[in-house]
Chain A
Amino acid sequence: MTEAILDPLPWLIVLPLAWASLAFLLGEGRGGRLAIAGLAAQLALALLLAVQIMAQGARVHTVGGWGAPLGIDLLADGLAAAMLLLTQAVALPLAVYARAYFSAVHQTHFWPLAGFLLAALNALFLSADLFNLYVTLELLSLAAVGLVALGGKTAQAAAALRYLLVSLTASGAYLMGVALIYGVYGSVSLATLAPLVGGDPPLAVWLAAGLMLVGLLAKTALLPFHFWLPPAHGGAAAPVSALLSALVVKASFYMVLRLSLGVFSPLAEMAAWSLGLLGAAAILWGSWRALRAIRIKMLVAWSTVAQLGYLFLIFPLLTADGPALQAGVMQAVAHGLAKAAMFAAAGVLMLSTGRDNLEGLAGVANRAPVTLFAFSLAGITLMGLPPSGGFLAKWLLIEAALAQGHWPWVVVIISGGLLAAAYVFKVLCQAFLLAPRSAHFNRVPRAMEWTAFLLAAASALLGLRGVELLELLAVG
């Protein structure tokens, strides 16, 4: 009994729910300190869980002692632990950042919504059945849409509504898939289903797999479903954009990855090349649009579209324990840290100059050098230069592609890196111009500059500690 209570698994879901509800009760704009304390505890729990899993292997927790099918099982393996670690590691610095940011910008319900978002994310990564995945995915979207609409401006409400409708349609498709799967096999448990789905399943299962895949791709904003992402991520408040781009889109990618490695592995080969080609197109189109952007946050949002493309390049190369899986998760983690840093830095630059377009950045290099350094460090990860996590991810990916003789992938990966260099340098060039005499710069809280820097440094140095992360992943 005491063992079940001390298990970090359920606490990773209960803690954010608790501080989110408390923050809501405290009232508008309050609860920041509570959130930071809660997140510090969550980070410690995620680390503890990762250490336990490294030592003892994957494990299942039955919530409240009620087992499946009527109760809910939680499953923690290496992949889940890695994603949990990423989530808490990104969320804690962002909470410190957000507390400073929202002392300058009015907000109403950031803390409760952020808490519900994190609870949904943690629950999603620990889910062991298709239906629980659906519920957590919906909770995640509802919290994310609420965060996008937070500022209350018309453009934000429009972006939020568009995001919500795409999201609801996508999860509707996923739910239909779950219904069909249950109709055929009478179970939604991932462990039960895995041996049942063979290489030649009934038509309903093909249909279900297709509906679920399309729904999840729409949620991950893979080209051609990327249209909702730039307005939603580019228009939200900076801490919100950071949370959404770094973590929320990774959740549905995690589901695609888990399902194509597990339950749908006999069918996954059919879609693998389409996913890879869409990913390649996303890299080129997203980078090109980022290069053409005139507003700084739109540039960063389009860069997210491009970087998500890398995640899907792995599917044609995927084997259960090969370098492709490692490359995908390394890319998810490196991009999570780097994009959180980049949106955080963009928020500082926008508060400092009071403008949101690239032109307004002239002269900012003298006023916010730490932030600009953070932006460049995050850029190093996106370009894939050593010793960053992005470099390690792209290296593993190139290795996997060459091992199977797919050299065009190498061309795509390298062109994506060059385009990323071009759009990062576009920002830097503008920032190093002399400020016009009329320019006026606002003071920005130090905590914001340094948290952006911390996140960027973590992403740039991730390559040095990559081995531990890859070892964790290997725990099945």
Chain B
Amino acid sequence: MTPGLIYALTGVALFALGLAGVILLAQALRRILAFNLMGSGAFLVLVGLAQRDGGVDPAPHAMVLTGIVVAVASTALALALARRLAAGGHGDD
């Protein structure tokens, strides 16, 4: 078993954990964290599988960086909405 494959399988496990969390958990904050776990799992698969041939493939690294930016933005929006909801809709902007 190559290190790349270990990363990829760990990624699949993280993704499954996160997915279960988003679907099964009730609190918004926990679901947001679970979504982040899902994202990390997918990134790990992307980088892990691409290392299979030994050489470094730059394309998935660029993709993961882009994906992290998207995930951070989504998390920020989700947290802002959760805060607004907790404040009863009259929170500040």
Contact = CB atoms under 8 A, between A and B. Distances in A.
Contact of B77 (A142, A176, A179): A142
Interface centre among B19, B41, B57, B81 (most CB of A within 10 A): B81
Given A135-B66, A169-B23, A183-B52, A161 B82 contact: yes
A172 B81 contact: no
A152 B59 contact: no
A182 B84 contact: no
Interface centre among A142, A161, A180 (most CB of B within 10 A): A161
A353 B24 CA distance: 42
Interface string B15-57: 1001100110000100110010011011101101110100001
A390 B15 CA distance: 41
A152 B81 contact: no
Given A164-B77, A164-B78, A186 B22 contact: no
A154 B46 contact: no
A69 interface: yes
A39 interface: no
Interface string A166-194: 00110011011011101110101000000
- Chain B, interface residues (CB within 8 Å), range: 35 or more
A149 B81 CA distance: 8
Nearest to A108: B93
Given A153-B89, A161-B85, A70 B45 contact: no
Interface string A139-169: 1011001100100111111101100110011
Given A135-B66, A138-B74, A169-B35, A182 B85 contact: no
Interface residues of A, number: 38
Nearest to A151: B89
A165 B31 contact: yes
If over half of B's interface residues share one DSSP class (helix, strand or loop), that class is named, otherwise mixed; here it is: helix
Nearest to A149: B81
Contacts of B50: 182-183, 186
Nearest to A207: B12
B1 interface: no
A131 interface: yes
Interface centre among B32, B42, B46 (most CB of A within 10 A): B42
8 contacts: A138-B70, A138-B74, A142-B73, A157-B84, A164-B77, A178-B42, A183-B46, A188-B63
> Which 6 residue pairs are nearest across A and B when measured between Cβ atoms?
A183-B49, A154-B89, A179-B46, A179-B45, A172-B38, A161-B81
Interface of B: 8, 11, 15, 18-19, 22-23, 28, 31-32, 35, 38-39, 41-43, 45-46, 48-50, 52, 57-60, 62-63, 66-67, 70, 73-74, 77-78, 81-82, 84-85, 88-89, 93
Given A152-B84, A165-B28, 16 more contacts: A70-B58, A134-B67, A146-B77, A161-B82, A164-B81, A165-B31, A165-B32, A172-B19, A172-B39, A172-B42, A173-B19, A176-B45, A179-B49, A183-B8, A183-B46, A183-B52
